[in-house]
Structure 1
Amino acid sequence: MNRRRLLQTSALLTAGTILPKGLLAWTAPPVASTNSGKVRGFVDQDILVFKGIPYGADTASTRFAPPVRPQPWTGIRDCLSFGPQAPQPIHARQDRSTFAPLDAASPVNSEDCLHLNVWTPALDHGKRPVLVYIHGGAYSSSSSNGPVYDGVRLARRGDAVIVTLNHRLNLFGYLYLAELAPPSLSDLFRDSGNTGQLDLVLALEWVRDNIANFGGDPSRVLIFGQSGGGAKCATLMSMPAAAGLFHRVMTMSGQQLTATTPEHATATAAAVLKALELTPSTLDSLRDPGKVSMERLVGALHAGHYYGPVHDGRTLPHDPFSPEAPSISANVPMILGNTHDETRLLIGASNPALFSLDWAQLPAQLEHYRQFLGDLSTGSIISDYRSWYPAYSASDVFFAVTTAFRSWHGMVIESERRARQNGPTWVYNFTWKSPVDGGKWGAPHTIDIPFAFDNLEFAASMTGTSPDAQRLASQYADTLLHFARHGDPNRPGLPPWPRYDLTKRPTMLWDSPARVEDDPRGEERKLIAKAPYIQPGT
Structure 2
Amino acid sequence: MTAMTRHVLTRRALVKGATAMAALAPAATRAAAPPQPRVGRYRGLREAGVLAFKGIRYGRAARFARAVAEPFDGPPVDATQFGPVCPQRGMADAPQSEDCLFLNVWTPEAHPGAGRAVMVYFHGGAYANGSVTDPLTQGAHLAAGGDVVVVSVNHRLGPLGYAWLRPLDTQAADSGNLGQLDLILALHWVRDHIAAFGGDPARVMVFGQSGGGAKIATLMAMPAAQGLFHAAATMSGQQVQASGPGHALARTRAWLARMGLGDDGVPALRALPVERLIAALDAIDPIMGGGVYFGPVLDMTNLPRHPFWPDAAPQSLHVPMILGNVRDETRAFLDPRGPKLAGLTWDNLPQRMAAEVKIDLDPQWVVQHYRAQAPDWSVEQIYYAATTAGRSWPGQVIEADARAAAGAEHTWVYQLDRPSPRDPLRGAAHTDDLPYVFGTLDAPGSYSGTDATARALSATMMAAFAGLARTGRPGLATWQPYRLPARGTMVFDAVSRMVDDPRGWQRRLWSTAPYVQPGS
TM-score (norm 1): 0.86
Task: Map 1:515-530 to 2 at 5 A.
Answer: 515-530=497-512
Q: Structure 1: where are the runs of 5+ without partners? A: 1-23, 94-104
1:508–1:173 distance in 2 versus 1, CA, 3 Å: same
Alignment of 1:197 with 2:197, yes or no, is no
Alignment of 1:151 with 2:139, yes or no, is yes
Name the residue aligned to 1:271: 254
Name the residue aligned to 2:25: none
Superposed displacement of residue 411, structure 1: 0.7
Alignment of 1:389 with 2:374, yes or no, is yes
Name the residue aligned to 1:436: 422
**1:534 alignment partner, one of 506, 516, 519:** 516
Alignment of 1:243 with 2:226, yes or no, is yes
Mapped to 2, the partners of 1:252 and 1:80 lie a distance apart of 28
Superposed displacement of residue 72, structure 1: 6.1
Moved more, 117-126 or 167-176: 117-126
**2:39 alignment partner, one of 8, 18, 32:** 32
Superposed displacement of residue 70, structure 1: 2.3
Task: Map 1:15-414 to 2 at 5 A.
Answer: 26-33=33-40, 38-57=41-60, 59=61, 62-70=62-70, 74-89=74-89, 92-93=90-91, 106-125=93-112, 126-181=114-169, 186=170, 188-287=171-270, 291-303=271-283, 305-348=292-335, 351-354=338-341, 357-369=344-356, 372-374=358-360, 376-414=361-399
Mapped to 1, the partners of 2:33 and 2:211 lie a distance apart of 37
C-alpha distance after superposition, 1:175-225 (max 9, x if no partner): 0001122xxxx1x21110000000000000000000000000001001000
Alignment of 1:486 with 2:467, yes or no, is no
Mapped to 1, the partners of 2:132 and 2:149 lie a distance apart of 16
Name the residue aligned to 1:20: none
Amino acid of the structure 2 residue aligned with 1:116: L
Amino acid of the structure 2 residue aligned with 1:31: R
Mapped to 1, the partners of 2:422 and 2:343 lie a distance apart of 17
**2:449 alignment partner, one of 464, 472, 479:** 464
For the Cα contact (< 8 Å) 2:256–2:265, is it kept in 1?
no
1:220–1:537 distance in 2 versus 1, CA, 3 Å: same
C-alpha distance after superposition, 1:38-57 (max 9, x if no partner): 11101113311000000011
Superposed displacement of residue 173, structure 1: 0.2
Name the residue aligned to 1:427: 413
Mapped to 2, the partners of 1:531 and 1:422 lie a distance apart of 25
% identical equivalent positions: 46
Amino acid of the structure 2 residue aligned with 1:128: R
Amino acid of the structure 2 residue aligned with 1:175: A
Mapped to 2, the partners of 1:292 and 1:396 lie a distance apart of 47
Superposed displacement of residue 71, structure 1: 5.3
Question: Could you say what secondary structure the match of 2:275 adopts?
Answer: helix
When the two chains are superposed, the root-mean-square deviation of aligned CA atoms in Å is: 1.8
Question: Could you say what secondary structure the match of 1:141 adopts?
Answer: coil
For the Cα contact (< 8 Å) 1:127–1:216, is it kept in 2?
yes
Kindly tell me the number of residue pairs found equivalent between the two proteins: 481
For the Cα contact (< 8 Å) 2:488–2:498, is it kept in 1?
yes
Name the residue aligned to 1:499: 481
1:411–1:440 distance in 2 versus 1, CA, 3 Å: same
For the Cα contact (< 8 Å) 2:55–2:83, is it kept in 1?
yes
Q: Structure 2: where are the runs of 5+ without partners? A: 1-30, 286-291
For the Cα contact (< 8 Å) 2:432–2:446, is it kept in 1?
no
Mapped to 1, the partners of 2:255 and 2:501 lie a distance apart of 45
Mapped to 2, the partners of 1:85 and 1:422 lie a distance apart of 40
For the Cα contact (< 8 Å) 1:348–1:355, is it kept in 2?
no
1:25–1:44 distance in 2 versus 1, CA, 3 Å: farther
Superposed displacement of residue 25, structure 1: 8.1
Mapped to 2, the partners of 1:432 and 1:516 lie a distance apart of 14
The structure that is helix-richer by fraction is 1
C-alpha distance after superposition, 1:487-538 (max 9, x if no partner): 01153xx5x2221111211100011100001111211111111021000233
Question: Could you say what secondary structure the match of 2:53 adopts?
Answer: strand
Amino acid of the structure 1 residue aligned with 2:297: V
C-alpha distance after superposition, 1:249-288 (max 9, x if no partner): 000000000011111111111122222333443422333x
TM-score (norm 2): 0.89
For the Cα contact (< 8 Å) 1:436–1:461, is it kept in 2?
no
Question: Could you say what secondary structure the match of 2:260 adopts?
Answer: coil
Superposed displacement of residue 26, structure 1: 4.4
Amino acid of the structure 2 residue aligned with 1:514: S
1:308–1:26 distance in 2 versus 1, CA, 3 Å: farther
1:474–1:387 distance in 2 versus 1, CA, 3 Å: same
Question: Could you say what secondary structure the match of 2:106 adopts?
Answer: strand
Mapped to 1, the partners of 2:65 and 2:168 lie a distance apart of 15
Mapped to 1, the partners of 2:359 and 2:350 lie a distance apart of 12
Amino acid of the structure 2 residue aligned with 1:499: P
Mapped to 2, the partners of 1:440 and 1:427 lie a distance apart of 26
Superposed displacement of residue 460, structure 1: 6.5
Amino acid of the structure 2 residue aligned with 1:258: Q
Question: Could you say what secondary structure the match of 1:132 adopts?
Answer: strand
For the Cα contact (< 8 Å) 2:242–2:519, is it kept in 1?
no
Mapped to 1, the partners of 2:122 and 2:72 lie a distance apart of 25
Superposed displacement of residue 366, structure 1: 1.9
Moved more, 196-205 or 122-131: 122-131
